[in-house]
Amino acid sequence: MSHYHIWIKHPRGVFTANNNNADNGIVIDKVTGTIIELISKGKTPHTTIDEVFDASEHVLLPGLVNTHHHLYQTLTRAFGDAINKPLFPWLKSLYPIWAKLMPEMISASTELGLAELIASGCTTVADHHYLFPQAIEHAIDLQVSAANNMGVRVTLTRGSMSLGEKDGGLPPQQTVQSDAQILADSARLIQRYHDNKQGSMLNIALAPCSPFSVTTDLMVETAKLARKNNVMLHTHLSETEDENKFCTNMFGMRPLDYLESVGWLANDVWLAHGIWFNDDEIKRLGQAKIGICHCPSSNMVLASGICRTKELAAAGVKIGLGVDGSASNDGSNMIQEVRQALLINRLRYPANEVTHLDALYWATKGSAEVIGRDDIGELSVGKQADLALFKLDELRFSGSHDPLAALVLCGAHTADAVMCKGNWLVKNAQLLNQELDEIKHKHHRLAKQLVS
């Protein structure tokens, strides 16, 4: 069969992430995995329809895009020694635990985290894995296999740490690698897995953990390698005031000045957090067309601060959302992150200046732009058929009126249906083709083993 057309019909509400009208739904081609028609109010499809999905009780969104995560951290949620600590002490308490990660733990944590994200309406996940103790030198390969099994779109970033405690860094020595090891494996992963075609299910990016956990040479050489192979660059930056002080003491300059000195102030870079930038730095970030992943829940848990989203966006910075690691969130739920983004921004800006539609945009088209994708994140002809459909039939929604506002303000938690590249991953709020009980049991057993 050359084509198979599905009409997502009569949605109760729809957010396209652009100015397109799809009030009467969309038509997708399951074979190509793309959107082929938007249906405005009162209209019907022009093409032959093979299947109808009645969305009259659903709010229709583009699949949500998570631009920063640490999937391995699902193994250390609410870990006793790390609770109620700011970033640096939090890291110091967890690094010795994470240093004991084994291959089976990487696979299990990736599958469970992706399952949790998919259930929340997320269809694209950027994961930042930067720990490579000897037992898990091929962690990214394990993640590739797990992502293929889950059927979700991923950008897997080959993270790195090369400055251990003895060299003035934060991580223990057993978690760091040499610059040569890191660069060789980065090149291998790009060659083996990176797919830069439209509709790609797997991208590789390069992602030193942070400027203070790798050498200056590694930052420079990583950028060269990424640009030689046309892949994105990612790192943490300006998450806390302590980080700014650390960089000033270590390099004699603030984090953004250091980033520029190593050739990273460019539009092929996205940064996690980006909280403690001053006005001049925000202007420079905008001029560079850099991307920033706003991580509201993590920033609240660690008391890191509030990202200056409006000033950054006004300067020309691309803004997306991320749940961040499940040890600083402590969940992996993208639709909840949309609500958190709205609420935390209301603490900084007037209520009429950051809306639920802004937060939804950040989680969809904004996030897609942050990770360098123009084929996902919106409902438009020719874009990928990545969809999330939410019902408003729980107690929390009773008495609500505006469907899109209710989705965010009343606190949607679980998608009723999720599609990625034209394939259903969730129907009737249940993941298809996945044994969730088995995934949870294995994951929980390994989490206990890790901290024992």
pLDDT at 240 over 80: yes
- Residue 284: DSSP 8-state: H
CA angle 371, 362, 419 (to 5 degrees): 75
Residue 167: exposure state from Cβ atoms within 10 A (0-12, 13-18, ≥19): exposed
Question: Hey, what are 148's tokens?
Answer: 């293929």
pLDDT in tens, 221-236: 999 999 999 999 999 9
Mean pLDDT of the region 412-430: 98
pLDDT tier at 300 (50, 70, 90 boundaries)? very high
| Rounded distance between C-alpha atoms, residue 354 and residue 87, angstroms | 27
Mean pLDDT estimate for the chain: 96
More confident residue, 13 or 212: 13
In sequence order, the β-bridge partners of residue 270 are 234, 291
pLDDT at 336 over 90: yes
Q: 406 vs 59, 66, 195, CA distance in Å?
A: 10, 21, 37
Question: Hey, what are 359's tokens?
Answer: 């937060």
CATH domain 5-62+385-429 topology: Urease, subunit C; domain 1 (2.30.40)
SS3 for 66-107, per residue?
Answer: ECCCCHHHHHHCCCHHHCCCCHHHHHHHHHHHHCCCCHHHHH
pLDDT tier at 172 (50, 70, 90 boundaries)? confident
| Rounded distance between C-alpha atoms, residue 336 and residue 412, angstroms | 7
pLDDT in tens, 187-203: 999 999 999 999 999 99
Q: 331 vs 26, 78, 146, 207, 344, CA distance in Å?
A: 31, 10, 19, 22, 17
If we measure between CA atoms, which residue out of 105, 106, 66, 98 comes closest to residue 82?
A: 98
pLDDT tier at 321 (50, 70, 90 boundaries)? very high
Mean pLDDT of the region 283-299: 98
**Which helix (H) or strand (E) segment is 283 a member of?**
helix 279-288
pLDDT value of residue 173: 85
pLDDT in tens, 98-107: 999 999 999 9
Instruction: State what percent of residues in the chain have pLDDT above 90.
Output: 91
Mean pLDDT of the region 72-90: 93
pLDDT in tens, 135-168: 999 999 999 999 999 999 999 999 999 988 888 7
Burial string for 192-212 (b: 16+ CB within 10 Å, else e) reads ebbeeeebbbebbbbbbbbbb
| Rounded distance between C-alpha atoms, residue 429 and residue 413, angstroms | 11
pLDDT at 76 over 60: yes
pLDDT value of residue 169: 74
pLDDT value of residue 211: 84
CATH code matching the domain that covers 72-370, chosen among 3.40.50.1010, 3.20.20.140, 2.70.98.10, 3.40.50.300: 3.20.20.140
Q: 201 vs 116, 141, 216, 253, CA distance in Å?
A: 18, 15, 32, 39
Domain boundaries, the chain: 5-62+385-429, 72-370
pLDDT in tens, 105-140: 999 999 999 999 999 999 999 999 999 998 999 999
Q: What is the pTM of this model?
A: 0.97
- In the chain, the N- to C-terminal Cα span, in Å, equals 53
pLDDT in tens, 244-272: 888 898 899 999 999 999 999 999 999 99
pLDDT value of residue 1: 57
In sequence order, the β-bridge partners of residue 423 are 420
Tabulate helix, strand, coil % of the chain (nearest 5): 40, 20, 40
pLDDT value of residue 346: 97
pLDDT value of residue 205: 98
pLDDT value of residue 144: 98
pLDDT in tens, 355-398: 999 999 999 999 999 999 999 999 999 999 999 999 999 999 99
